[in-house]
A and B are shown apart, each in its own frame.
Chain A
Amino acid sequence: DVKVTQSSRYLVKRTGEKVFLECVQDMDHENMFWYRQDPGLGLRLIYFSYDVKMKEKGDIPEGYSVSREKKERFSLILESASTNQTSMYLCASSLLSNGYGYTFGSGTRLTVV
């Protein structure tokens, strides 16, 4: 089975800190995605990547950046964390860019204080 591993389950950071959320997949998938999940809003796409060193903005990229230096790793970066970035962050990967076959990580619950 494909595994998508997110490095931290819970994270507490201070306002203004630079925050790195790490995601690693072990099945050589081309595509990787970062979503944030908020009550009543579902999952919203922040950034995605279809290949190494390639990134595309999703629906809510403001305040975030990403890095994909290796195929298996996709990092989400909060340049200067703010309280409105308190959320659950979910990483996903897929082999094909056709919307199905996504595998999700267990999520990182980030609290910015």
Chain B
Amino acid sequence: AQSVTQLDSQVPVFEEAPVELRCNYSSSVSVYLFWYVQYPNQGLQLLLKYLSGSTLVKGINGFEAEFNKSQTSFHLRKPSVHISDTAEYFCAVSWYTNDYKLSFGAGTTVTVRA
């Protein structure tokens, strides 16, 4: 069965420092890749997606992610975080072999401190 692994459950970071959230998945065959953000007491909002083409994907709010097929990874990065980036971040993958239903990682809570 396909799986999505987010390697860090909690990431504390200081304001204006860079952050990287790691995501690995079980198979690269016909995948679409996503990062979602959930701010406190809200639903999920799409940050960025990889469907095809360039392996470096830019999203909203200064986030970017890189698709690495050989390492089956899709890590999320931001060069300089703000207090407002405090949220929970979810990596999600859809596979052709699973009718493209979204499967989610366990989530990474990012806490930005001044």
Contact = CB atoms under 8 A, between A and B. Distances in A.
B76 to A, nearest CB: 15
A98 interface: yes
Interface residues of B, number: 26
Contacts of B41: 106
Given A100-B51, A104-B44, A40 B106 contact: yes
Chain B interface mostly: strand
B49 A41 contact: no
B42 A100 contact: no
Nearest to A94: B102
B49 A42 contact: no
In the complex, which range does the number of interface residues on chain A fall in?
A: 20 to 34
Interface string A88-103: 0010100001111010
A54 interface: no
Given A99-B94, A100-B94, A106-B43, 4 more contacts: A42-B104, A43-B92, A92-B44, A100-B51
Interface of A: 4, 33, 35, 40-45, 48, 58, 90, 92, 97-100, 102, 104-107
